Amino acid sequence: MLIGQELCKALFNDEYQYVLAVHCDHEHIHNHIIVNNVNFYTGHTFETEHNQGKIPDRAWSKLRTISDELCRKHGLSIIENPHFSKGKSHWEWELDKQNLSWKEQLKRAIDEVIKVSEDFEDFLAKCADFGILVDYNPDHKIDLKFMLSEQKERNPRAKFTRAKTLGYFYESQQIRRRIESYKYQMSHSPTARIIRTTADKFQQSQGLTNWADRENMKVASKALNEMTASNSTLEELESAAHRAFAEFMVMSTPQFELSDRIHELEKQIPAIEEYRKYKVYYKNYTYLEGKSKKKYGENCRYELDQYHECRKKLKELFPDGIIPKIKDLQDELKKAREDYAKMSAERKALKKEADRLSRLAQQKRDSQRTLARYMQNEQAAKRKKGQLE
Going by C-beta distance under 8 Å and a sequence separation of 6 or more, which residues neighbour residue 97? Answer: none
User: Can you tell me the distance from the alpha carbon of 197 to that of 381, in angstroms, rounded to the nearest whole number?
Assistant: 6
| pLDDT per position as a tens digit, 47-66 | 766 665 544 455 566 777 88
Q: What is the pTM of this model?
A: 0.41
Look up residue 148 and give its amino acid: L
| pLDDT per position as a tens digit, 137-191 | 988 888 999 998 888 888 888 889 999 888 878 899 889 888 887 776 555 444 5
Lowest-pLDDT range of 6-15, 256-265, 272-281: 6-15
Q: What percent of the chain shows pLDDT beyond 70? A: 79
Contact predicate 110/146, CB 8 Å: yes
Work out the widest C-alpha separation in the chain, in whole angstroms: 122
> What average pLDDT does this structure show over 280-292?
92
Contact predicate 251/347, CB 8 Å: yes
Backbone angles phi, psi at 134, to 5 degrees: -130, 140
User: Can you tell me the distance from the alpha carbon of 181 to that of 188, in angstroms, rounded to the nearest whole number?
Assistant: 13
pLDDT of residue 91: 41
